[in-house]
Amino acid sequence: MTFAYRDGVLCAEAVPLDDIVRAHGTPCYVYSRAAIEQAYAEYAAALAGRDALVCFSVKSNSNLAVLALLARLGAGFDIVSGGELARVLAAGGDARKTVFSGVGKSEAEIVQALEAGILCLNLESEAELERVAAIATRLGRRAPIAFRVNPDVDAKTHPYISTGLKQNKFGVAQEDAERLYRHAASLAAVEVVGIGCHIGSQLTAAAPLIEAATRITALATRLAQAGIRLAHIDLGGGIGIRYRDESPQPIGATIAAMLERLGTQRAKLILDPGRSIVGNAGVLLTRVEYLKPGAAKNFLVVDAAMNDLMRPSLYGAWHEVMPVRAQQAAGAPVYDVVGPVCESADVLAKDRTLAAQPGDLLAIMSAGAYGMAMSSNYNSRPRAAEVMVDGSTAYLVRRRETHESLFALESVPTW
Ligand code: LLP
């Protein structure tokens, strides 16, 4: 266990979390190097012996230390913006192992990606193909492309993070794919290298992923028959993690089933997991400010808020809350754990039995994915610090923002 109690104190690997707070304060994200390596190793083991590439989904956690660690393990990256590409390169990642998805790539982002030597642009519309071809022509380059195909599979997850249905904005329709591929193959400025899909996130059942693999493989086979041979098949991310009582299908078994569906396809398999690599490798530390008992509800007011961790407010997501110093919770009050932000939605956890007192530290668990990455400065709150633990050492990998940094880019006109 990466996060476990030792002598009554919750630790990340061998480091007590209250030591980290003494050095860096709260709110503070803490990641475990070992947990990230272990999750990556599960992917590597499941793909051993197969031509494959794990492209870590940068949007889930884009801290340079996390990216550098994964780059060193041999990972590629899945990006959705020029900013993410810049991060990958700054962290020592390889553009030739990086795939670029997203429905709205700008001219500047396409130029940046082609000049960096990106492995593949995952195109999401016909209009984007035209734009990419025009830019590549202008630059005198061939743009490596794939289409992200929407396989119309229900991922059976939260509607906000379901992406593979016809009504979602992502990808091109299966029915249009063959026509688009033929058109792309006829353009000198693009090189058709692959096909991609991503049906959604936090999938706890393997069946939708396997169904998507089946449909995409069938399409790749039809394209090969039409003379369009693909170097890779990208089946996206999406494997879920345990937040509360979910029992997600193990990574190894899910991948084994996907590989079976790929059958004799020789193409390289690309996967772009985010959450399943970093989700359970991170916690958010916060301090209790006030107890606020009430007639209808008891509130535990803490110093982290929805601007630090947005998932509970946005999706009603559940994150376990654990006291940093082990406590007997039996008989303790039931609280909503809330932050200081001026929104009723600023709830980090609902209905938790906690014996906490003002000044106590709490760890909000499973916060390594889409935590810091989705944070904001709302209410002019400086973003949290980030720490990476490696064995018995804690490294500060992002300083806490300061009040000055909040408005460093602003200026007042000289009216
Ligand atoms: N590939 C593509 C093309 C994606 O759009 C995504 C995530 C991934 C891979 C990584 O998916 P994962 O393995 O992490 O499930 N903010 C939401 C999740 C949004 C996911 C967006 N796309 C949350 O906090 O649950």
Indicate whether residue 308 lines ligand 1 (CB < 6 A): no
242 confidence band (pLDDT: 50, 70, 90): very high
* Whether the CB of 238 sits within 6 Å of ligand 1: yes
The amino acid sitting at 287 is R
Q: What is the pLDDT of residue 161?
A: 65
Same domain? For 378 and 342 the reply is yes
Higher per-residue pLDDT: 167 or 104: 104
Q: What is the pLDDT of residue 329?
A: 87
**Domain tally, the chain:** 2
State if residue 157 touches ligand 1 by the CB under 6 angstroms criterion: no
162 and 250 housed in the same domain = yes
Residue range 179-192: mean pLDDT, rounded? 97
State how far the Cα of 67 lies from the Cα of 317, in Å rounded to an integer: 25
For 51-83, write each residue's pLDDT tens digit. 999 999 999 999 999 999 999 999 999 999 999
Give 179's contacts (C-beta < 8 A, 6+ positions apart): none
**Could you report the per-residue pLDDT of 360-370, keeping only the tens digit for each?**
999 999 999 99
267-293 in b/e form (b: 16+ CB < 10 A) is bbbbbbbbbbbbbbbbbbbbbbeeeee
Structure tokens at 51: 């031509």
**Residue matched to tokens 């086979």:** 221
Of all residues in the chain, what percent carry a pLDDT higher than 90? 93
Which ligand 1 atom is nearest residue 272's CA? 9
- What distance in angstroms lies between residue 57's CA and the mean position of ligand 1's atoms? 7
363 and 241 inside one domain: no
Is residue 197 located within the same domain as residue 287? no
Question: Are residue 301 and residue 267 in the same domain, yes or no?
Answer: no
Position in ligand 1 atom list of the atom nearest CA 279: 14
Rounded to the nearest angstrom, the distance between the alpha carbon of 412 and the centre of ligand 1 is 38
Q: What is the CATH number of the domain that holds 216?
A: 3.20.20.10
Instruction: Compute CA distances 234 → 75, 159, 218, 237, whole Å.
Output: 14, 22, 14, 9
Mean pLDDT of the chain: 96
* Mean pLDDT of the region 243-269: 94
Residue 84 lies in a domain: no
Query: How many Å separate Cα 174 from the centre of its chain?
Result: 25
Q: Which helix (H) or strand (E) holds 405?
A: helix 403-406
| Closest alpha carbon to 74 in 100, 56, 99 | 56
If you measure from the C-alpha of residue 389 to the centroid of ligand 1, how many angstroms do you get, rounded to a whole number?
Answer: 24
Distance CA 76, CA 53 (A): 7
Same structural domain for residues 119 and 22? no
230 and 291 part of one domain = no
Tell me what percent of the residues of the chain surpass a pLDDT of 70: 98
The token duo for 6 is: 């030792």
Residue 274 in contact with ligand 1 by CB distance below 6 A? yes
Enclosing domain of residue 226: 102-271
CA atoms of 43 and 239, how far apart (whole Å):
11
Q: What is the pLDDT of residues 257-298, one digit of tens each?
A: 999 999 888 899 999 999 999 999 999 999 999 999 999 999
Task: Give the pTM.
Answer: 0.97
C-beta of 60 in contact with ligand 1 (< 6 A): yes
Q: Which atom of ligand 1 is nearest to the CA of 60?
A: 14
Write the residue with the smallest CA distance to atom 6 of ligand 1.
237
CA distance 150 to 199: 7
- State yes or no: pLDDT of 213 exceeds 80: yes
Mean pLDDT value across residues 238-257: 95
Instruction: Supply the pLDDT for residue 171.
Output: 87
Do residues 37 and 267 lie in contact, with contact meaning Cβ atoms separated by under 8 Å?
Answer: no
Residues noted as catalytic: 342
Using alpha carbons, select from 363, 225, 215 the residue that is nearest to residue 287. 363
Residues 222 and 307 in one domain: no
C-alpha to C-alpha distance for 299 and 291, rounded to whole angstroms: 6
Question: Domain end: 254, 271, 288, which one?
Answer: 271
pLDDT digits (tens, 9 = 90+) for 33-56: 999 999 999 999 999 999 999 999
Q: Decide if 257 contacts 210 (C-beta within 8 A).
A: yes
| pLDDT value at 393 more than 70 | yes
* CB of residue 205 inside a 6 A radius of ligand 1: no
Instruction: Report whether 283 contacts 363 (CB < 8 A).
Output: yes
Name the residue of 60, 105, 162, 284 to mutate for ligand 1: max ligand atoms within 8 A of Cβ. 60
**Domain of 332: which CATH number?**
2.40.37.10
73: which DSSP letter?
T
Q: In 91-143, where does DSSP find H-type helix? A: 107-116, 126-139
The residue among 271, 304, 323 that closes a domain is: 271
Instruction: Name the residue of 53, 59, 84, 278 to mutate for ligand 1: max ligand atoms within 8 A of Cβ.
Output: 59
**Domain ends where: 255, 271, 287?**
271
Q: What is the pLDDT of residues 128-173, one digit of tens each?
A: 999 999 999 999 999 999 999 998 888 777 776 666 667 777 889 9
